[in-house]
Amino acid sequence: MSNRYVFAVACALASFSAGAQNYPDRPIRVIVGVPAGGTPDVMARAITAGMSKLLGQPLVMDNRGGAGGLIGTEVAAQAAPDGYTLLVSSPGPLTIIPHLQKKIAYDPLRDFAPIGVIASNPFLLITHPSVPAKTLKDLVALAKAQPGKLNYASAGNGAANHLAMELFKSMAGVNITHVPYKGAPQAVTDVLAGHMNMMFNSIPPVLAHIKADRFRALGVGGAKRSPQLPDVPTVNEAGVPGYEAITWFGMLAPAKMPKPILARVQAAFSKVIATPELRAQLEAQGAEPGSGSAQEFSALIRREYDRYAKVVKASGAKID
């Protein structure tokens, strides 16, 4: 081995070490695959505020909405693994779309380094008050009497709430027409205006509208009722036995990020997610705070990936 080669390797290692020690020395981009105001965006802003203080640099939102989160996820997967691009994602682009779309520009299990789960919460079936169904059983009966006439909005083809409704349709034996949007905020707005009949959505963005009677909540997708909506039964209780659909929001980095830099980001995430203030904030929004364990998040992604492979096949869900 030549002295010149040894010298070059030594210089590279020294440069890498210095870069890791100085990290971060500029703002960090956080890609979110939905427009501003969507639940993943809300969750991202909740965790990044505290992380910015710990890391000493601003974490700047880069909203890349569209295709159920696919667009933003592709950008994140192809970003340089230098610590200056992070991703906040919901299940769709990591555990659902890969089973609905044959060709995507990333491998959800190999191209990302999980950092931690910010929060999880159940989906909630909401309708516009003009829909003549006051209970879930009423809705099922109405849909069966008028197959294909009712419609539902989703955050996009392949989004988690798209599959939540397709699973519901399959288990309840109903035909409700899918209308995909470029993100949940737009979909929520159109249900709110009465342009769409219903949708499954996470609780935080719609809670105030439910309390103001602008939405009717018919069923919680989790295994238990939400503390924020104790009078709303689970979908399982309300007439579709065995139904369960939850969503989660987590932070990831492009794979191959240098371990010292990844460790620093993970340490900041873990410290912030453990603060009583943030946990109280998340709980007040109807979410269950997550953990700073990268290992637990990695196992969750693998488990959900395998689960949705079966759900997609059983429900016959397609990107239409």
Averaged pLDDT, 82-111: 93
Same domain as 209, residue 254: no
For residues 254 and 108, state if they share a domain.
yes
pLDDT at 136 (0 to 100): 98
Could you count the other beta carbons within 10 Å of the beta carbon of residue 182? 16
The yes-or-no verdict on residue 9 having pLDDT over 70 is no
Residue 248 · residue 287 · CB < 8 Å: no
pLDDT of residue 310: 83
The parent domain of residue 105 ranges over: 25-120+246-315
Same domain, 62 and 110: yes
Q: Say if residue 17's pLDDT is above 60.
A: no
What's the CA gap between 170 and 248, in Å, rounded?
23
Residues 190, 296, single domain; the answer is no
Contact partners, residue 120, CB within 8 Å, separation at least 6: 246, 247, 248, 249, 287, 288, 290
219 and 127: one domain?
Answer: yes
Mean pLDDT of 179-196: 93
Residues 152 and 233 in one domain: yes
pLDDT digits (tens, 9 = 90+) for 239-252: 999 998 888 999 99
Least-confidence region, from 156-165, 209-218, 286-295 = 156-165
Strand partners, 252: 87, 114
Report d(CA 234, CA 225) in Å as an integer: 6
Query: Are both 210 and 253 inside the same structural domain?
Result: no
pLDDT band at 308 (very low <50, low <70, confident <90, very high): confident
Q: How far apart are CA 269 and CA 291, in angstroms?
A: 9
Residue 191 and residue 272 in one domain:
no
Q: Structure tokens of 23?
A: 């990290």
pLDDT tens-place string over residues 33-66: 988 888 889 899 999 999 999 999 999 999 998 8
pTM here?
0.76
